Amino acid sequence: MATSMFEVSSAPMQAGFSFPEPLSDKYKPKRVADFLVAFPRNVMLSLLRNPKPSAWFFLGASGLGKTEMAMAFGNELPAHVYHIASKDCDLAKVRWIKDRVKYVPGDIMNPGVKPLLYLFIVDEADSMTRDAVDAFLSLLDASGRPNNAIFIFTGNAQPNDPSGRFMSRVKMLPFSKEGMSGEIAALLASIWLAEGGKPENAPNFARITKDAKNNIRDAVNTIEIELMALDCAGMEVTSA
């Protein structure tokens, strides 16, 4: 037995042990059609049916699935997908993007086959450096936008762009929490039953939704805590 935090126990490690994923990840929508927020879901479904070079800004509060929507869109789109964190989105990264889209992958044996698109997802774009915002202007302008790329920016607010020129070059897609309480409460109820909860010991899903201020991720995290407490209470009863 180890007697110090710096000693390694001689007991064998448990074979095949793996940590379960959080419920917020387990029940994360995997397809665009599965998202609760109706307006952006319908817009992106339309773009999936007819993909075209464009630039978008997913604007809204945290926990509504902006990044997940962008990633799900990329998974369903025949495209090279690049996920870029805002902290990495500086002037050098924008220049790297410009170099990437100069190459259009295609099939020389089948010239009639359209080349794959590029999809660039810039997360928390409201934290981009001012130089990066300015560098994107020419890349997103109608006259300079590459004909093989889709850009999706996500953010809780608009980027640092006093002139407003950046936002004039993207299609702003709002993610709103308004009117979402019923759908979120129904989602929580389905998760509760799927994870072993019962109607008679269910918490107040409407209250959890309200307390989370319609933040889907926060509400699901609360349900996970409730289920963990329920599981522990059951063990105590059994051991007694």
Nearest to 82 by CA among 122, 126, 38, 137: 122
For the chain, counts of helices (H) and of strands (E): 8, 5
Q: Is the pLDDT of residue 196 over 60?
A: yes
Higher pLDDT, 89 or 27: 27
Q: Is the pLDDT of residue 1 over 70?
A: no
148 with 53: CB under 8 angstroms? yes
Q: What average pLDDT does the segment 198-205 reach? A: 94
Higher pLDDT, 205 or 7: 205
What mean pLDDT is reported for the chain? 83
Amino acid code (one letter) for 138: S
Residues 130 and 43 in one domain: yes
Decide which of 130, 151, 175 is a domain's last residue: 175
CATH of the domain at 124: 3.40.50.300
Give the domain range for residue 85: 24-175
Q: Is residue 136 part of a domain?
A: yes
23-50 residues labelled b (16+ CB within 10 A) or e (exposed): bbeebbbeebeebebeebbeebeebeee
The number of domains in the chain is 2
DSSP helix, strand, coil percent of the chain (3-state; round to 5) = 45, 15, 40
Higher pLDDT, 43 or 90: 43
| Separation between Cα atoms, residue 108 and residue 74, nearest integer Å | 25
Residues 109 and 128 in one domain: yes
Contact residues for 160 (Cβ-Cβ < 8 A; gap 6+): 126, 128, 130, 133
* Residue 186: pLDDT band with limits 50, 70, 90: very high
89-112 residues labelled b (16+ CB within 10 A) or e (exposed): beeebbeebbeebeeeeeeeeeee
32-41, 138-147, 165-174, 220-229: range with lowest mean pLDDT: 138-147
Segment 109-134, tens digit of pLDDT: 666 555 678 899 999 998 888 888 88
Residues 228 and 130 in one domain: no
Segment 24-82, tens digit of pLDDT: 888 888 899 999 888 999 999 999 999 988 999 999 988 889 999 999 999 998 888 99
Helix (H) or strand (E) holding 152, with range, is strand 149-155
Beta bridge partners of 55: 151
Segment 204-237, tens digit of pLDDT: 999 999 999 999 999 999 999 999 888 665 544 4
The reported pLDDT for the residue numbered 217 is: 92
The reported pLDDT for the residue numbered 179 is: 85
Q: Is the pLDDT of residue 20 over 80?
A: no
Decide which of 175, 194, 219 is a domain's last residue: 175
111 with 151: CB under 8 angstroms? no
Residues 105 and 186 in one domain: no
3-state secondary structure of 167: helix
The reported pLDDT for the residue numbered 14 is: 56
